[in-house]
Amino acid sequence: MEATVATETSAENTWNGGGSKPLGSSYGKMMMWFFIVSDALTFSGFLAAYGLMRFKFLESWPIADEVFTHVPFVHGHFPMYYVAFMTFVLIFSSVTMVLAVDAGHQMKKAKVTLYMFLTIIGGLIFLGSQAWEWKNFIAGTYGAVVMQDGKIAQFVDKDGHQIALDDFVVASSEREQLTRNKGVWFMKDEGSIPPYTLEEVVSSFKANPDVGLRTELINFDKKQKTLMTKEEANAFLTKAEGVVMGANLKVNEYGNTLFADFFFFITGFHGFHVFTGIVINIIIFFNVILGTYERRGHYEMVEKVGLYWHFVDLVWVFVFTFFYLV
Amino acid sequence: MAQTHGSHESNVGLIWKVFGLLSIVTIIEVAFGIVKPAYMHFTNFLGTSLLNWLFLILTLVKAYGIAWYFMHLKHEKAALRRAIVWTAVFLIAYLATLLLIEGGHLGEIFERYTSWS
């Protein structure tokens, strides 16, 4: 009964549920847990929807290793390394958070301050890394050709490795990007145009015998995308509609549109959680410095934001698995 | 201060141990993700490759480490722990199973639109 009856009504106890402790946990901590459960269900709904669409388009879904290949300051094909770094940053910031909670239990204000600070820094590094990952995803690496029905075809060298449009396309004319200050004043700015026209890409492809064309179809014996013969490719390119570089919500060079949509939505939603986590951590950080929790006699607020922060880490573990590994 | 209020022992040693475990698991995941050994990659067990099963199991190991030790679920009362873990695990497993089966089915019945050729 004690759990359901409000025992104290003083203003000081408004936000900690009074003296009642349902399930041996404070009111605020339990509510944080219930929020986390519902948020976990939201994320699992998104990830399950990703799984639904991936299973629907199983034979042509993009292969993650060929999409996320960038490492800062290094050129080349390095799948996994950077996202592994991001995972470490987030796990480590979880460690500093739990160290802050631990120091809070012992009322060591200086240690809590230091560990909260490190947690915030870790969060900022992760958020910056994610922004960089988005930048590469949006700008694109190779470029591709999009068909009238929305299919994507990518270009490869003799060994079947993907190559960029820059590597083989000979530009015959420079088409300038129209902007309002160069064009007609009542025009809207046009969307960014691909670096080459379709005609340039197709004629360069025909002229160069070393360049091959790759379809979205996965060869499940090799778990690689299927290559076309030169004749098939030339016939196929007559149905091409345009050149695509990078990714937006309507079309992307990696393959199925839904792949990019889910990438933006799920990593974006997770990134937004990281952002709010950092903001909350900063607020708590200043409260720690001001001595709010020292006066209150306990550091339970640090524990509560800690739960949220660990949850953000927990979600990333699953996003990492389902977007990059599986 | 620690003497007056300190009813809690420090768990710093345990925290670093869990961090070590999570790091090792992540390194194993990344190593397998880069190498993709053929004897695991080109297999099919219950609908996906053994490599993918390894990733899923290691993910759950990491989730356990984070929830039990970092989020202190281990130290909560069993009733609260079960209210959280069983609810989430049951609903997520239910949703994922249904949607994945449905996704494969959609791929088949809409073959005209989903098939690549």
Domain segments of chain A as ranges: 26-140+259-325, 144-245
Which of A106, A108, A118 is the mutation pick for testing B, counting most B CBs within 10 A?
Answer: A106
pLDDT in tens, A37-66: 999 999 999 999 999 999 999 999 999 989
The pair of structure tokens assigned to B76 is: 């909560």
**pTM confidence score:** 0.89
Provide the edge-to-edge strand list for the sheet that holds A152-156: A224-228, A212-219, A152-156, A144-147, A240-244
Closest by Cα among A74, A72, A61 to A223: A61
A273-292: b or e for each residue (b if 16 or more CB lie within 10 Å)? Answer: bbeebbeebeebbebbeeee
pLDDT band at A304 (very low <50, low <70, confident <90, very high): very high
Residue A12's pLDDT is 59
How far are the Cα atoms of A40, A120, A277, A301, A302 from residue A283, in angstroms, in the given order? 24, 11, 10, 11, 10
B107 and A49 within 8 Å at the Cβ level: the answer is: no
Q: A52 in contact with B at a CB cutoff of 8 Å?
A: yes
The DSSP bridge partners found for residue A225 are A218
pLDDT in tens, B50-98: 999 999 999 999 999 999 999 999 999 999 999 999 999 999 999 999 9
Residue B8's pLDDT is 65
Share of chain A above pLDDT 90, in %: 70
Give the gap in angstroms from C-alpha B39 to the nearest C-alpha of chain A. 12
Report which residue type is found at B70. F
* Minimum Cα–Cα distance from A312: chain B residue: B66
The DSSP bridge partners found for residue A212 are A156
Task: Tell me if A278 sits within 8 A of A123, measured CB to CB.
Answer: yes
B 33-92 residues inside an 8 A Cβ radius of A: 33-34, 41-42, 48, 52, 55-56, 59, 62-63, 66-67, 69-72, 76-77, 79-80, 83-84, 87-88, 91-92
Range name among A170-174, A309-313, B20-24 with the lowest pLDDT average: A170-174
A24 and B104 within 8 Å at the Cβ level: the answer is: no
Residue A17's pLDDT is 65
A56 and B87 within 8 Å at the Cβ level: the answer is: no
The DSSP bridge partners found for residue A147 are A240
Q: A44 in contact with B at a CB cutoff of 8 Å?
A: yes
Q: What dotted CATH number matches A26-140+259-325?
A: 1.20.120.80
- The answer to whether residue B117 scores a pLDDT higher than 90 is no
**For A58-86, what is the mean pLDDT?**
89
Q: What ipTM does the predicted assembly reach?
A: 0.91
